[in-house]
Chains A and B, each alone.
Chain A
Amino acid sequence: MMRRSKAKERFATLLYSIICFILHSNTGYAQNISDTHQIKPISIVTRSNQTIYNDGRTTAIDSLSMIKSLTSSLSELVTQNTSIYIKEYGRGAMTTASFRGTAPSHTSVLWNGIPLNSPMLGMVDFSTIPVYFTDQITVEHGSASLVDQSGALGGLVKIENKGDWQNKFSGRILTGIGSYGTKDEFIKLSLGNTKVQSQTRAFYSFSDNDYTFKNKLIANIDPLTGNYIYPSQKNLNAQYGSKGVLQEFYLHPSQQSFLTFRYWYQFNNRSLPRLQTNETDINYNLNRQQENANRFMGEYKHYGSKGTLTLESGANLQHSTFQLKNKISGTLDQLITDATANVESYLFKATYEYKIKENLNITTTANGIFSSVNSINSPQNSQTEGYNAKRQDHSLTVQLVNIFNENLTGKLISRTELVGKSFLPIIPSAGLIYHPLANKSFFLNGNLARNYHLPSLNDLYFVPGGNPLLKAEEGTMIDLGSGFSADLNQLHFKANITAYGSGINNWIIWLPTPKGYWEPSNIKRVNTSGIELNSSVSGKLNSLKYRINGNYAYTRSINRDNPKTWADESIGKQLPYIPRNSANILIDLSREKYHFTWVWNYYSSRFTSTSNTKTSPFDILHPYLMNNIYLGRGINLKHSSLDIELKILNLFNESYRTVLQNPMPGINYSFLIRYDF
């Protein structure tokens, strides 16, 4: 009996310390929007290893920023709150992320442990992930991602949903209208008690996206004067729309165990606008891209006296189509491209976290991912080509966290991965955190790791061009950092700085060939290095609450391959579309019922060629400087609250592009009403 009672006491202590950690973490700190709405503490469980070993390489996007971006996609949220470079192919169009100077496929995204990176393409389109469906977003920089996954050479974005055990009945309704025929609708209903909780969310977003712009890349010649006449054009064929539902069930069958089920359905439908230099008839080059995604996951968690067992399983099933056609008068529509892909991933994962001694924790994770792709492409003349491919990826990860003394903590990770029938070399990672001060407000940390990124199934098997002989990309990475936090009266200050370096061998790149199609090969060695700086200050001046958050990243992503010929000028140069400098500042002010947020975002110029030449205006994208503001007022009702907000995007009406030849909109607005009950 004594032993059981001690075990219960230890468990209670553990649970208490976890809850305390969460309540005192940043997430809990900054959840006020004026005085109108208090977000309840929503987390109950977390990993004690992450609690013990927090080396500043994991950044949480605070919930205030998430509420500000509720009607946005993940790309906007990440752009405004992290140092990740987001490459946007137009408003509402595909958006990819480049983290620490790496390729889009090197940034992984996990939704409650389920990989969202397509096994077919290797990357995630950030524009298709609605912030509505997220409760917590954390970013793991570089090798910090190895705790959760291999292959994220740049880093990992973790999206999580949380239940609220204190909730009985609550909800949120949001409606918004904006420029260019943009509509946003969202509803969330939460119902339950301390044993069972249900959360249902649904959203619908649509935009005609038909903004006008002066096209200075084409011109007609005035027959009288000989001068150029630049046309004012609409961004035609650029509609986008999404709808989705997310259902979550949280069960608490016993004191020590939790069960979770989640289902996420989403439909995306959009067209890609034509380039600015395109002068075809409006009935030509018509395209439509559609995607249906069904995602399931279940999780069982049991807290024992000395350890925690977590069992997870889930699936990510995607069906996508892309059609490109011309409408030519007098004949049937001419289908140029008709591509279909069925992509499935299934995940099985078991994790056991065990406290060997008071100062030594071990976490063991066994993981299995089963992926399959059925890709069919029907180009001209009704010919069909495509491929069917499957891959099994099993891994075993052991993580040790040891508290050597009050000042020094270490972490060791070893990951063994079996891909098909071949073992990858061991993936190791080792790190230390040193707290020289007694109050632990300052730390130094360092980490050394190796990581492997597998080719996507398209890289290996796409028809035509897939290369089954591709090797995994291999990265060796080092991080050195420091962090500081302080509380002075009503002011809270926090700053982290990390310097990193990595060498990536066998970098995969697709290139055209004389065969008339593109092929991938392991041709490059790329060295990336840089500095990441994050700082925030928040507090209260009289009745004014303020919070300022800033990120800065200096990124070098250098091609270290051997020159192909004497004329090859790409060696030693920055990779295309990677900015050297990126920064953002978010200033949030609130006083009584009013709140104001200003977001500023900056990317330095980006080269579009591997040689970094500046011989023409098309070799470079000018620096990107964007200002957005949010103005709002909260209204407290008896058992509910209302918040109305005006968003002004591109405040200074800049003419700009984020990739060559895709114009972006000028100043635009959206008006939102949020009702919480």
Chain B
Amino acid sequence: MKSYIPIISLILFIQFTLVRCMKDDSWTGSQSIALANKGLFIVNEGNFMYGNASLSYYDPATKQVQLDLFYKINGLPLGDVAQSMTIYKNLGFISINNSGKIYVIDSRTGKYVQKITGLVSPRNIFFSTNGNGYITDLYAGKISILNPQNFQITGSIRTPGHPSTEQMVEINDRLYVSCWSFDNTILVIDTKLNQVVDSIKVGIQPAGLALDKLNKLWVLFQLIIHIEKSFSLASDATPSRLAINGTKDTLVYLSSGVWKQPIVQETLNIKPFINQDKHLFYSLGVDPQNSELYIGDAIDYQQQGVIYRYSNYGAKLDSFKTGIIPGSFCFK
């Protein structure tokens, strides 16, 4: 028996020193973080299938940034591929594309108050003047209608032949919806009837919609068009994001750099407003109050991205780190 002692001792030593050492089940986070009244949320997509999406908040007055806000306040991860955020009556609706849900937070505190589930792959939510929320979806083939008072899905609008719906703009009682993934269509929805009443063929994969001060709808794909005119971009251009400034008279878009295009200008600019250089510009936001530009740089898509803040005239005002793949902005 004595001869077994070394082996038994070895086993016991290793067992007692190493058992139950994994710390993979500990999730914490219930911090109270003060959010400035004026500022912007940055929705960081995170990596597809990693579930590491996050939310940041930036105060332009103090240049302070809060990272990973949702987790720090609520002790939960945001999910897999956070797509967009919309504020409606002090509530922030964050669409989490590959988690099939929309988190609802108090936009003043960041506190999680509700979630909307049962969706397939939500992309954007738009609140109509009729009081309904309309939720587009990458795969559902329908637009869900939300009652924001009780957070219930009250109905849906089928979009036959168009499984993927993306961005929305409202003009009077018409909701214009871009069909992005492998599609080339803008659907027109009557918000009184909640039905598709018309469709407009545009170019392949319309990447952005914007409404100018003349109530003209602009669509970005390989061309920039609105109903009356179109501008052809360079054949090798890769346009990806479209926004409009605070006074709604100048378009801003990404295409290997940041470009500006006054709505009344008859020709395209030949030089970008901001060169991309070695940056990887991925997202674009324009402050509706002062038209300052916020540009998200994803760097290599696998580390914290950077936000560059420019004045309306192109002067660099600030830059700061955010989460992985900054994908969209939501101004409070």
Contacts and interface: CB of A to CB of B under 8 A. Distances in A.
B214 interface: no
A328 interface: yes
Interface of A: 216-221, 228, 275-281, 284-285, 326, 328, 331, 334, 336, 379-381, 383, 511-516, 541-542, 544, 546, 548, 564-565, 567-570, 576, 585, 587, 589, 598, 600, 602, 608-611, 613, 615-619, 621-625, 627, 652, 654-657, 660-661
11 contacts: A275-B80, A278-B80, A279-B117, A280-B117, A281-B100, A331-B141, A379-B181, A514-B255, A516-B205, A567-B321, A655-B22
Interface string B296-311: 0111111110100000
A217 B71 CA distance: 10
B67 interface: yes
Nearest to A598: B11
> For chain A, what secondary structure do more than half of its interface residues adopt (helix, strand, loop), or is it mixed?
loop
B300 A511 contact: yes
A564 B280 contact: yes
Given A275-B99, A277-B96, A567-B297, A656 B303 contact: no
B280 A656 contact: no
B98 A609 contact: no
Contact of A284 (B120, B163, B238, B299): B120
Interface in B89-130: 96, 98-101, 112-115, 117-121
B246 to A, nearest CB: 25
Contact of B302 (A278, A576, A622, A655): A576
Nearest to A618: B52
A216 B24 CA distance: 11
Contacts of A660: 50-52
Nearest to B158: A331
Interface of B: 3-4, 7, 10-11, 14-15, 18-25, 27, 46-47, 49-52, 54, 67-68, 71, 75-80, 96, 98-101, 112-115, 117-121, 139-142, 158, 161, 163-164, 181-183, 205, 207, 238-240, 254-256, 277-282, 297-304, 306, 319, 321, 323-324
Contact of A617 (B4, B71, B100): B71
Contact of A380 (B117, B164, B278): B164
A600 B25 contact: no
A320 to B, nearest CB: 19
A280 B291 CA distance: 37
A417 B161 CA distance: 50
B303 A616 contact: no
B18 A617 contact: no
Contacts of B183: 380-381
A505 B120 CA distance: 42
A652 B52 CA distance: 28
A581 to B, nearest CB: 13
A381 B54 CA distance: 32
Contacts of B80: 275, 277-278, 661
Nearest to B47: A608
B300 A610 contact: yes
Contact of B182 (A381, A619, A624, A627): A381
A503 to B, nearest CB: 20
B153 to A, nearest CB: 11
